[in-house]
Structure 1
């Protein structure tokens, strides 16, 4: 035994705190014998020996160990651990011999395939909890952990509760106290589902907190807008939006005590709802009309009565709710004299003359609304610039709080961050990987009072949270949507609270209360699964994702309407003439949808 430095007291009668700390860990095998090392490694023991002050501790199964060795008789707890590891080691001898007889997976087998094969083995019940783990699954996990996104430096922004609390009380630094805690990874890593808000009868496409964070507005495929008292887990009131198709956006205007809500819809209308203090909607009126669906609105902090809307007709409309004709076309986004549909629009909070758009091409464009004739700058990752083989769209782009950065989520690609001060056509500076954005028009947001994180939903039904600076995955909120896709994320303006929605009819509220952290192994499995699905989708002909979403929404609307009609007839509250009128209205909407579907299909194949 080598003795570098002072040896630790390992007498049987003495209690060694360092060894007690290591007691729950399986002891490492003697690496002098490769066969023994591989056998013990098959049950999950690390092959490297544990060294205490230069002393190598041998495995209990090693011939070098004996019952009289003081390292073995160092306490009752260590003897129990030793017996458990010894039994595991002995049982692994037979299993390892059978493993040697079976063919080893080739190095050309991908991690995704290994995961798939291991999942099939588990479904057949061939893996028991006492057996060694499937070698292909272990290989896949190791490969996944070696992916670039999994090897990013970890985010270590930890809160200091006592120091921050003292500074808040002694120096009135309440804002600093709040910022440190909301941006602390100790809280971000613990987001879990707290409760759901139920009331909508369709997919929830829009969420927006008011300035104080006391109310939450939501818009849905059921054409209703709900104003939620989210802390009490109930709606304050709801009203019909006046739209004829899916509500894509609902926002509180920045004046008059949250009594005005603007909405945008698939029907292309931008509407204003005027609310009363008693919790009712006085009226809704049309502010502007796009010649195609309007997905997003953005408010102008310096002018609380104004907003901008973007639509799939490529137009940006400037709206002032005080004017008799509030809508004024600001620009039409074009590329090579061809109109580019807009999916997203966002204003710079620090300088709201500047706004950005994204849509059905690979560019994020910055405009000045004082000189909107041409874009100030265009940003696109260089590997996507000019590549005609990749029909990449930017489903959402948003500014940071200070306007120095803009992030964009690319469909079936990654999320990229650009510096707005960089020159025109400059490449990205940060890249966030691991999620999947293919099926829907998916949002992306900064999170934290200092924009410490980037958050996005995914087609796998999970929510990804990355460190903005390190690009590493800080947390994955697992199973955030039962039907599989998370589209909308809305952080609370002042608290560590997150509201999300997707294909489910419910809104989910997430709080940092979980006692269990998601392991890196779980994150690696999710990442490799998304990577496999992305690779598979590139090998087949894909139908337009927007068209698939419209088919899904139509099925959901018809199902919800049938349920409502059956319940009304059962209660005797719906007469036959009313039923006939409602069914005729549904038939008319179905014919209109079929015509739109046919046109979308033709456009998709022509592209």
Structure 2
């Protein structure tokens, strides 16, 4: 027995010696905490691919190394919305040319282009859950909400779910369901369930008079977003300075046609700023809320900034906490979205009227990067759900794909190719070859 254990220990020691990197490889190992160190950990199996991608996207190196890898062309007008499917294998874009396009990013090519049935600009397009990415909902400037179903062979019949008289500006899908919401320029919010024949009008968003008294007037709505932690809650914004948070379980239409929000948000210094409007909303994984103000800045709002929570009856007698502010971009023309970047929403990003993509650090609002993303206006920036990829769109008729690298003509594509090669499931990793890999990667990035 003892002899057997000794023999086994000797064999294990031999294996360890064989796997031990050479002196050259040890000297070439990157410093701990760097992007190259994370790559090395991934290649030797110490860091799973998802954790590797998260670690890179959470780093400031990621922000500073972003460059355009691909330009996706198949639209004939401005691109108004982009969205990834849940796995990130497909990207969906919608355009002024009344079409929607599905893109395969691995091949940098469109897999399907179809006419949505809209008679004017398509303002938003979203994949529906539980459909194997074959069910797509759209809304447009023609006041319609439509449903498209992709069939075998590429045929895409569409049907009108609602004609609402006024422009339908944005959609928000409830995760893991057949349900989505829409906001309309007449101030109305609608709930759609694809299992039911007709949509339901939830309420009209009333204009605010003296902070919390709803007047008989309505307001234009520009943005709607569902809280991923609590899908029964959603926020809307429009042609005034308030973000309104609603809970579908607490909407009482029998008492009033106007929905009463469970919370309202507005930075204190903007209360009663009638010239403002909010064009973009986004929830973080922890329920924080980004609001992009027209003619002003972007603000990060949480529960502590709620006007109801703070009993904010008199704006002159109570001082609210100041929300984190993100400055520098311009939001005066086309409707701008706003979004988080990073696995833990480490950064905030937005387009701008001058054709740039802006990225700020969330924790302190510091502007980290300004990148040229369009000849005139960037409207939307979206992050891939699992990989180190960002997409943007705007007035140009293309979609830009951003990955780590300096520009679209050099490192990003080759960096991706090298990393993909060394990510194969079955291979023999020779530590001496790691020296060569490091030299290759360092020349690319």
Normalised by the shorter chain, which TM-score bucket? Answer: 0.7 to 0.9
Show the counterpart of 1:435: 329
**Alignment partner of 1:393 is 2:272:** no
The alignment covers a number of residue pairs equal to 351
Matched residues in 1 for 2:49 and 2:230: separation? 26
CA contact (8 A) 1:168 1:177 kept: no
Show the counterpart of 1:217: 92
Q: What pairs with 1:29-428 in structure 2 (closer than 5 Å)?
A: 159=34, 161-162=36-37, 166=41, 174-281=49-156, 283-302=157-176, 304-325=177-198, 327-335=199-207, 336-372=215-251, 373-388=259-274, 391-403=275-287, 405-420=288-303, 422-424=305-307, 426-428=320-322
Matched residues in 1 for 2:46 and 2:323: separation? 37
Matched residues in 2 for 1:496 and 1:163: separation? 14
Show the counterpart of 1:524: none
Give the greater-gyration-radius structure (CA).
1
Which of 451, 466, 471 aligns to 2:345? It is: 451
Specify which structure has the higher proportion of strand.
2
Deviation of 1:334 after TM superposition, in Å, equals 0.4
Matched residues in 1 for 2:48 and 2:398: separation? 37
Question: C-alpha offsets along residues 393-427 of structure 1, whole Å, 9 cap, x if unaligned?
Answer: 00111111221x10111111110111135442655
Deviation of 1:227 after TM superposition, in Å, equals 1.1
Matched residues in 2 for 1:387 and 1:164: separation? 49
Show the counterpart of 1:593: none
Matched residues in 2 for 1:486 and 1:352: separation? 29
Aligned alpha-carbon RMSD (Å) = 2.0
CA contact (8 A) 1:159 1:184 kept: no
Unpaired segments ≥5 residues, structure 1? 1-157, 517-607
Show the counterpart of 2:24: none
Pair 462,515 (structure 1): closer, same or farther in 2 beyond 3 Å: closer
Question: C-alpha offsets along residues 496-552 of structure 1, whole Å, 9 cap, x if unaligned?
Answer: 211111111111111111189xxxxxxxxxxxxxxxxxxxxxxxxxxxxxxxxxxxx
Deviation of 1:223 after TM superposition, in Å, equals 0.5
Pair 370,189 (structure 1): closer, same or farther in 2 beyond 3 Å: same
Specify which structure has the higher proportion of helix.
1
Deviation of 1:321 after TM superposition, in Å, equals 0.5
TM-score by length of 2: 0.75
CA contact (8 A) 1:315 1:331 kept: yes
Deviation of 1:177 after TM superposition, in Å, equals 2.8
